[in-house]
């Protein structure tokens, strides 16, 4: 599927914002007194970070 450059730029901007929020969430959960209580949330957030990082890489490749 072909996307306009402006659509890709906006998608990347949105994903970057989500990534920033997810990374902050992981930091917060890992700094809690009992981080093991949040293991599943931390794991889910890290998997989402990995998936979104791949998405950003593919968008950047398309933009080049």
Q: What is the pLDDT of residues 14-51, one digit of tens each?
A: 999 999 999 999 999 999 999 999 999 999 999 999 99
pTM for the predicted model, two decimal places: 0.91
pLDDT at 28: 97
pLDDT at 1: 82
Calpha distance 38→7 (Å, rounded): 35
Of 22, 2, 25, 24, the closest CA to residue 14 belongs to: 22
- Residue 32 per-residue DSSP state: S
pLDDT at 53: 98
Q: By residue range, what is the domain housing residue 51?
A: 5-63
Q: Cβ neighbours of residue 60 under 8 Å, at least 6 residues apart?
A: 12
Q: Domain count for the chain, please give it.
A: 1
């Amino acid at each position: 599927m072909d996307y306009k450059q402006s659509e890709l730029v906006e998608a990347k901007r949105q994903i970057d914002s989500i990534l920033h929020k997810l990374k902050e969430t992981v930091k917060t959960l890992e700094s809690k007194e009992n981080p093991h209580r949040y293991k599943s949330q931390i794991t889910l957030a890290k998997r989402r970070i990995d998936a979104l990082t791949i998405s950003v890489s593919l968008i950047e490749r398309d933009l080049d």
